[in-house]
């Protein structure tokens, strides 16, 4: 090997990557290695804790024949760095569970293997959910769980304001007026700040007909006015007093909506298990109503789509085996215990089982799969941009910047990131 | 003659032996220092060198590094968020370190009086230092929690003080963080001061008392000068520790709201592990190193240059 500056830099970089991996790696030392026939490594942000591990490995994976598994559990906050450190260290797990908006960056970097469309045959996965699973016309992942964002409201507060279920607003202007009516004394009409503010803005961006990036993901799209409109709408709600930045859920405590400090909550469907455990009386059909965020122009409502995708590493030594595992995980008998454990919405819409049908949020979201859209991501540069969005949106919400200034700053960051793609 | 000629001969025989002994001692000195030297070279020196090298590259961990020249440093110079983070570090240091050092000195002097229950009190003061930062942050999250669920707001409610947003407010979040850093750092500083206080010869105080010096004069002219090297040590380690603060910010505020509590290490983490701009993150680390060296030299000047 010729010794030159580039080789030396590569070696140094990989050395640091290796050190980082060593520092970040789990004690078990079972992650990756590319796998081989009969052995599959898995990186997952789901199934945390003893019960989750028991369900995933003891109940689900144990049914996959003649294969041993090395599962690396992490959480969503650390998945990004864990995956990238693994790529740098050359020890990527064979099966990777990742989120909506993640496929484009990692497919672009060559981390993910192409998947045959036939893998979804007979799986009853809603076609709309595949929008987040591909890049440049190629499928790189299979939808596993869906995290939909819907509006949950207290029926008693709506009844008190004289708003019936049949007369819910169908555009954002009417929605804004309704918020003024349902605001409880000393509280807020809607809790938009317990959720990740980046996703709230992205959701509103969708309501204003915008998107973050162009179709090919190579240019910024929210500078067409929709980005400012979405943020300005948020600021208008602050001015109305129907939302308040200081009213937001704290770690380990019930959300403002659960404390009846907020009439409406923009909720992630993955919260269903904690809601039913902490405040079961609030999440009955009699107490709780659900609706989707209306669009600005009164057209179709919008539902922010997050979720968990199954992808195969391009470095897997036995991709066929891992694809078989993906297919296996999507079978109803294997998906149901997984859904029961994590409390999320399955990507299949044909699971007629109390595990799904008793989950009111899940059934509502499945009924509205057609509106599900991943309003964030969509570009190879996304992973670099996503961390900066919340700070800019917050700066506008707390009055440090105008909507236009915040969006300009965000656009500048995104354009800068795109130049490095 | 015999005597005069014999003496140089004897000296001549002894000199090589001394040199051999000195050489042997030097060799053994190096042998004993070798493990620590290798350890520092491998785990500190090498990473610093690699970081300096990577700071001159574009590197995203997924592709090989490419030469970038000084563009990462130019990017830092034009990055308002990085300098805002640096400013936050300086504020935390400028407010938190003097306050905590003063409190630690007062506590140490009180603990040095030998009153009953001192042992239990020492333990209580030292406890925050040995408690995991994440646990501390979680407790303070609850204390600062907005609404009546938070301890501070709950207590404030009894006093008629309206609910405060604390960590949810851009103007209150940084002071709230500073308070936690003061509380967390108090224990170690107090123990170091206390250990130094206990080495001071009591005869100095007795002599001063006989000469008519008041308690304040004794403290000012005996205690403070003798504690100067300790003060320098605490000041330098506090500055470095302050600029290394990461976990507290990560758990308490994640740099928010609106980046109002972000600090340099958090920005380096974001750049490296959220944006995967390892070259830029390395350059930020090098800038931080330079700032720390400058601050350490300044601290040395401030404390009179005494570290013995």
Residue B71 contacts A, CB cutoff 8 Å: no
Chain B: give the shortest CA distance to residue A250, in Å: 6
Nearest CB to B149 within list A9, A250, A417: A250
Q: Where are the domains of chain A?
A: 5-147+305-373, 148-304+378-419
Q: What is the pLDDT of residue B15?
A: 59
ipTM of the complex: 0.77
Mean pLDDT, range A365-369, rounded to an integer: 92
CB contact under 8 A, B64 and A13: yes
pLDDT (tens digit per residue) in B125-157: 888 888 888 899 999 999 998 877 789 999 999
Per-residue model confidence (pLDDT) at position A275:
93
Percent of chain A clearing pLDDT 90 (strictly above): 71
Cβ neighbours of residue A67 under 8 Å, at least 6 residues apart?
A: A38, A39, A40, A61, A321, A325
Q: Which of A6, A9, A388 is the best substitution to test chain B (most B C-beta atoms within 10 A)? A: A9
Please check the confidence at residue A157 and state whether its pLDDT lies above 60: yes
Provide the pLDDT for residue B306: 54
Task: Please report which helix (H) or strand (E) contains residue A294, including its range.
Answer: none
The set of long-range contacts for A77-82, using a CB threshold of 8 Å and a minimum separation of 24, is A79/A43, A79/A45, A80/A383, A80/B273, A80/B274, A81/A24, A81/B273, A81/B274, A82/A24, A82/A43
Select from A105, A250, A396 the residue whose CB has the most chain B CBs within 10 Å, as the one to mutate to test that interface.
A250
Q: What pLDDT sits at residue A198?
A: 94
A 10 A CB-CB count for B51 gives: 20
DSSP strand pairing (A95-99 vs A39-44)? parallel
Highest CATH level, class, for B72-302 = mainly alpha
- Name the residue with higher pLDDT: B26 or A3: B26
| All structural domains of chain B with their residue ranges | 2-54, 72-302
Task: Give the side-chain half-sphere CA count within 13 A for A142.
Answer: 28
Q: What is the nearest CA distance from A174 to chain B, expressed in angstroms?
A: 29
Rounded Cα gap, residues A322 and A332, in angstroms: 18
Interchain proximity A394–B50, CB inside 8 Å: no
Report the residue of B55, B164, B275 to disrupt the A interface, i.e. the one with the largest count of A CBs within 10 Å: B275
Closest-CA residue of B relative to A7 is B64
Query: Considering CB atoms only, which of B65, B256, B277 is closest to A9?
Result: B65
What mean pLDDT comes out for the span B93-102?
94
Q: Residue B252 corresponds to which tokens in the numbers above?
A: 């308490």
Q: Indicate yes or no: CB of A247 within 8 angstroms of CB of B146.
A: yes
Contact: B256, A390; criterion CB under 8 Å: yes
Give whole-number Cα distances, B209 to B117, B202, B206, in Å: 27, 11, 5
Under 8 Å CB-to-CB from B269, ≥6 apart: which residues?
Answer: B246, B250, B281
Once rounded to an integer, what is the mean pLDDT over residues B184-192?
92
A54 or B20, higher pLDDT:
A54
Question: Measured between beta carbons, which residues in chain A are less than 8 angstroms from residue B255?
Answer: 391
What predicted TM-score, i.e. pTM, was given to this entire model? 0.82
Please compute the mean of the pLDDT values over residues B184-206 and round it to a whole number.
92
Interval A383-409 mean pLDDT: 93
Contact criterion met (CB < 8 Å) for B141 and A5 = no
3-state secondary structure of A5: helix
Please state, for a pLDDT cut of 70, what percent of chain B lies above it.
Answer: 92
User: Over chain B, what HEC string results?
Assistant: CHHHHHHHHHHHHHHHHHHHHHHHHHHHHHHHHHHHHHHHHHHHHHHHHHHHHHCCEECCCCCCCEECCCHHHHHHHCCHHHHHHHHHHHHHHHHHHHHHHHHHHHHHHHHCCCCCCHHHHHHHHHHHHHCCHHHHHHHHHHHCCCHHHCHHHHHHHHCCCCCCCHHHCCCCHHHHHHHHHHHHHHHHHHHHHHHHHCCCCHHHHHHHHHCCCCHHHHHHHHHHHHCHHHHHHHHHHHHHHHHCCCHHHHHHCCCCCCCCCCCHHHHHHHHHHHCCCHHHHHHHHHHHHHHHHHHHHHHHHHCCCCCC
Quick check: helix, strand or coil at residue A267?
strand
Nearest by CB: B274 against A15, A80, A110: A80
CA-closest candidate to residue B146, choices A339, A269, A248: A248
- Average pLDDT over chain A reads 88
Same fold, A5-147+305-373 and A148-304+378-419: yes
pLDDT bucket at A1, cuts 50 / 70 / 90: very low
CB contact under 8 Å between B147 and A109, yes or no, is: no
Among chain A, residues having any CB pair with chain B shorter than 8 Å are 5-6, 9-10, 12-13, 15-17, 19, 80-81, 84-85, 87-88, 109-111, 245-248, 250-253, 256, 259, 261, 383-384, 386-388, 390-391, 394-395, 397-398, 400, 417, 420
CATH node for A5-147+305-373: 3.40.190.10
Q: Considering just the CA atoms, what is the radius of gyration of chain B in Å? A: 27
What pLDDT sits at residue B100? 94
What does the alpha-carbon distance between residue A391 and residue B274 come to, in Å, rounded to a whole number? 14
* pLDDT over threshold 60, residue A20: no
| Mean pLDDT in residue range A340-362 | 92
Q: Render pLDDT for A237-263 as a digit per residue (tens, 0 to 9).
A: 999 999 999 888 877 788 999 999 999
Residue B3's pLDDT band (cuts 50, 70, 90): very low
Judged against a pLDDT cut of 90, whether residue A192 lies above it is answered with yes
CB contact under 8 A, A387 and B61: no
Structure tokens at B192: 């170091």
Widest distance between CA atoms in chain A: 78
pLDDT value of residue B22: 86
Average pLDDT score over chain B: 88
Nearest to B62 among A84, A246, A261 (CB): A84
**Residue A211: which of A100, A419, A374 has the closest Cα?**
A374
Cα A420 from Cα B129, distance rounded (Å): 43
CB contact under 8 A, A109 and B274: no
For residue range A271-322, list pLDDT tens digits in order: 999 999 999 999 999 999 999 999 999 999 999 999 999 999 999 999 999 9
**In a 10 Å sphere around its CB, with 0-12 CB exposed, 13-18 middle and 19+ buried, how is residue B256 labelled?**
buried
CA–CA separation, A206 vs A304, rounded Å? Answer: 8
For residue B238, what pLDDT is reported? 92
The arithmetic mean of pLDDT across residues A154-174, rounded, is: 95
A14 pLDDT exceeds 70?
no
- CA-based nearest distance A81→chain B, Å: 5
Looking at residue B282, its pLDDT comes to 96
Strand pairing category for A188-191 and A288-291: unpaired
Residue B14 banded pLDDT, cuts 50, 70, 90? low
Two tokens at B236? 């330098």
Top-tier CATH class for A148-304+378-419: alpha beta
Cβ neighbours of A12 (radius 10 Å):
19
Mean pLDDT of B79-103: 94
Cβ contacts of B147 on chain A, cutoff 8 Å? 247, 250, 256, 259, 261
* pLDDT(A165) > 60: yes
Bigger pLDDT: A69 vs B129: A69
Q: Quote the tokens at residue A340.
A: 């029961």
Residue B257, preceding peptide bond in cis (omega within 30° of 0): yes
Q: Percent of chain B, pLDDT > 90?
A: 60
In this predicted structure, what is the pLDDT of residue A248?
86
Task: Please list every residue in chain A whose beta carbon sits closer than 8 Å to the beta carbon of residue B63.
Answer: 109
Q: Let me know: does A329 contact A61? Beta carbons within 8 Å.
A: no
């Amino acid at each position: 090997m010729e010794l030159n500056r580039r080789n030396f830099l590569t070696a140094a970089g990989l050395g640091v990557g290796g050190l980082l991996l060593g520092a970040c790696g789990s004690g078990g030392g079972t992650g990756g290695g590319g796998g081989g026939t009969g052995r599959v490594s898995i990186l997952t942000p789901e199934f945390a804790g003893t019960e989750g591990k028991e369900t995933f490995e003891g109940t689900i994976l144990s049914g996959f024949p003649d294969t041993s598994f090395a599962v690396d559990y992490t959480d969503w906050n650390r998945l990004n760095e864990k995956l990238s450190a693994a790529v740098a260290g050359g020890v990527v797990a064979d099966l990777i569970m990742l989120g909506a908006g993640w496929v484009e960056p990692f497919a672009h970097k060559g981390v993910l293997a192409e998947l045959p469309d036939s893998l979804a045959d007979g799986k009853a996965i809603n076609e709309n959910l595949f929008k987040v699973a591909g890049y440049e016309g190629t499928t790189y992942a299979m939808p596993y769980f869906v995290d939909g964002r819907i509006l949950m409201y207290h029926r008693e507060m709506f009844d008190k304001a004289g708003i019936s279920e049949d007369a819910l607003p169908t555009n954002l202007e009417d929605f804004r007026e309704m918020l003024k009516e349902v605001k409880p004394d000393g509280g807020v009409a809607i809790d938009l700040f317990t959720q990740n503010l980046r996703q709230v803005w992205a959701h509103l961006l969708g309501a204003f007909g915008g998107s973050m990036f162009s179709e090919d993901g190579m240019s910024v799209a929210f500078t067409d006015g929709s980005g400012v409109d979405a943020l300005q709408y948020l600021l208008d709600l602050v001015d109305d007093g129907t939302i308040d930045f200081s009213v937001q859920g704290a770690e380990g405590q019930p959300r403002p909506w659960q404390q009846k400090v907020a009439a409406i909550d923009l909720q992630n469907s993955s919260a269903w298990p904690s809601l039913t455990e902490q405040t079961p009386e609030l999440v009955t059909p009699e107490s709780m109503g659900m609706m989707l965020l209306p669009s600005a122009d009164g057209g179709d409502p919008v539902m922010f789509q997050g979720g968990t995708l199954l992808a195969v590493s391009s470095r897997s030594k036995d991709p066929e085996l891992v694809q078989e595992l993906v297919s296996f995980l999507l079978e109803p008998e294997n998906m149901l215990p997984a859904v029961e454990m994590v409390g999320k919405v399955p990507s299949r819409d044909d699971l007629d089982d109390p595990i799904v049908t008793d989950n009111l949020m899940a059934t509502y979201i499945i009924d509205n799969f057609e509106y599900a859209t991943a309003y964030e991501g969509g570009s190879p540069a996304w992973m670099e941009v996503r961390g900066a969005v919340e700070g800019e949106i917050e700066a506008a919400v707390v009055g440090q910047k105008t909507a236009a200034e915040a969006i300009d700053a965000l656009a500048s960051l995104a354009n800068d990131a795109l130049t490095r793609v | 003659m015999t005597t005069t000629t014999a003496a140089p001969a004897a000296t001549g025989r002894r000199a090589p032996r001394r040199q051999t002994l000195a050489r042997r001692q030097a060799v053994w000195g190096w042998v004993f220092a070798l493990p620590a030297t290798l350890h520092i070279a491998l785990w500190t020196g090498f990473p610093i060198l690699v970081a300096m090298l990577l700071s001159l590259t574009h590197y995203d961990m997924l592709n090989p590094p490419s030469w970038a020249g000084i563009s990462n440093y130019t990017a830092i110079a034009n990055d308002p968020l990085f300098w805002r983070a640096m400013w936050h570090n300086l504020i935390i240091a400028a407010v938190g370190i003097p306050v905590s050092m003063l409190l630690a000195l007062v506590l140490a002097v009180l603990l040095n009086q030998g009153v009953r229950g001192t042992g239990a009190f020492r333990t209580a003061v030292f406890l925050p230092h040995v408690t995991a930062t994440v646990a501390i942050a979680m407790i303070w999250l609850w204390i600062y929690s907005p609404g009546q669920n938070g301890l501070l707001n709950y207590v404030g409610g009894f006093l008629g003080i309206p609910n405060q947003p604390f960590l949810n407010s851009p103007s209150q979040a940084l002071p709230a963080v500073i308070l936690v850093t003061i509380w967390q750092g108090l224990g170690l500083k107090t123990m170091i001061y206390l250990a130094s206080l206990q080495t001071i010869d009591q005869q100095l105080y007795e002599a001063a008392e006989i000469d008519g010096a008041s308690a304040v004069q004794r403290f000012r002219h005996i205690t403070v000068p003798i504690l100067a090297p300790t003060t320098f040590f605490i000041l330098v380690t506090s500055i470095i520790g302050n600029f290394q603060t990461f976990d507290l910010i990560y758990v308490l505020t994640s740099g928010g709201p609106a980046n109002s509590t972000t600090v340099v290490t958090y920005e380096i983490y974001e750049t490296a592990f959220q944006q995967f701009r390892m070259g830029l993150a390395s350059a930020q680390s090098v800038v931080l190193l330079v700032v720390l060296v400058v601050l350490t030299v300044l601290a040395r000047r401030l404390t009179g240059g005494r570290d013995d």
